[in-house]
Amino acid sequence: MKKARFIFNPRSGYNISNPRVVERVRRFIAEQNAAGVLDARLVSTERPHHATELARAAIADGCELVVAVGGDGTINETATALVNAPAPVALGLVPCGSGNGLGRHLGIPRPDESALRALVDGTPRMIDTAMANEHPFFNMMGLGFDAGISARFRSLKKRGFPRYLKIILSEFFRYKPASCAITPLDENELPAPATAKQRLEAEAFILAIGNSDQYGNDGFITPLARIDDGQLDLTLVRGVSLLNALPLAIRLLTRRLYGSKKVTHLRAPGFVIERPEPGLIHTDGEPREAAARIEVKILSQSLRVMTPRGKAP
Ligand SMILES: Nc1ncnc2c1ncn2[C@@H]1O[C@H](COP(=O)(O)OP(=O)(O)OP(=O)(O)O)[C@@H](O)[C@H]1O
């Protein structure tokens, strides 16, 4: 019998409007407990960052499976406690957020029966995780336009994709591109000699660094990223205007962003981003205050995750 803990965020996009998800999860737990497969219970988060405390407590209690029932923010907080945890502790996902970027990349787009089945008969996989200064991330980090969106989204009482869209549109008209310098790092966290000539200074509309290939909702901002290759993919988008916003959005949704002249792609195990002053970034869609200098680095194969059988990306 595998000891497990389910960490449920009642504030995540899907969970607010779909109380049936948590009912189904409770039933699944009862079924698995009765069948002698799991020894599991569900706990709810009461505040931001509570999921990390709950996940640490679950590991200390001997749980081998810790399941995040929430969006990318809840997954981030839960997984933070599991990075480099001793085997066989694994993260499970029941993605119920507004975007579900990590879940979609791993073949778990929705909180459905397939997501639940993967928890008990799926394949455990080792994936990379990453840090942006002191902030862990698992899916995506960024600065510029999308960091502003995450800050405004956080202040909403109600969440969900339509509200995302509304904020994206209003932020588009007020956002001013930010200047930054980007230096790729090698495996030893030194400026990469082979790629040093790629050091870029730019006015970034969006600067995104992806461990997975998408923000969520199939917005493929780093379309070539793989979550277990020991590398991070950086996408720099410059000069977005009313004229080119729609074609760029279509490219974003069809994995063709790197065909645009406005877009630069870099790949490295890490990056240093320097800005004129401290400011906002986001990690997995959650806004954070960060120093002017941001060091982003990969932690190769540092998290075990349960994924559906035969669905490895
Ligand atoms: N009980 C709570 N009350 C208020 N906020 C909470 C509570 N529990 C967790 N949170 C916060 O809720 C926020 C949103 O969670 P989450 O990211 O899971 O949902 P989402 O934003 O709808 O999904 P996604 O990131 O996939 O778009 C996180 O910042 C988390 O810290």
Q: Are residues 196 and 280 in the same domain?
A: yes
Helix (H/G/I), strand (E/B), else coil: 285: coil
Is 139 or 165 the better-scoring residue by pLDDT?
139
Cβ neighbours of residue 306 closer than 8 Å, sequence gap 6 or more:
65, 90, 91, 92, 93, 118, 119, 122, 123, 124
Q: Are residues 146 and 123 in the same domain?
A: no
**pLDDT tier, 158 (very low <50, low <70, confident <90, very high otherwise):** low
pLDDT of residue 35: 97
Query: Ligand 1 within 6 A of 47 CB?
Result: yes
69 neighbors 25 (Cβ within 8 angstroms): yes
Q: Which two tokens stand for residue 263?
A: 């877009």
Asked if residue 180 is part of any domain, the answer here is yes
Nearest to 273 by CA among 179, 195, 193: 179
In the chain, % of residues over pLDDT 70: 93
Q: Are residues 32 and 52 in the same domain?
A: yes
84 neighbors 122 (Cβ within 8 angstroms): no
Total count of domains within the chain = 2
Q: Are residues 288 and 207 in the same domain?
A: yes
Is 21 or 312 the better-scoring residue by pLDDT?
21
Determine the distance separating the centroid of ligand 1 and the alpha carbon of 71, expressed in angstroms: 7
Query: Ligand 1 within 6 A of 46 CB?
Result: yes
Atom number of ligand 1 nearest to Cα 13: 22
Residue 198 maps to which CATH number? 2.60.200.40
pLDDT of residue 165: 77
Query: Ligand 1 within 6 A of 13 CB?
Result: yes
Asked if residue 312 is part of any domain, the answer here is no
Asked if residue 181 is part of any domain, the answer here is yes
Nearest to 59 by CA among 309, 308, 304, 307: 304
80-132: per-residue pLDDT in tens? Answer: 999 999 888 999 999 998 789 999 999 999 999 999 999 999 999 999 999 99
Question: At residue 306, does pLDDT exceed 90?
Answer: yes
291 neighbors 278 (Cβ within 8 angstroms): yes
Domain with 107, as residue range(s), is 2-127+303-307
Atom number of ligand 1 nearest to Cα 284: 25
224-281: per-residue pLDDT in tens? Answer: 999 999 999 999 999 888 889 999 999 999 999 999 999 999 999 999 999 999 999 9
Residue 13 maps to which CATH number? 3.40.50.10330
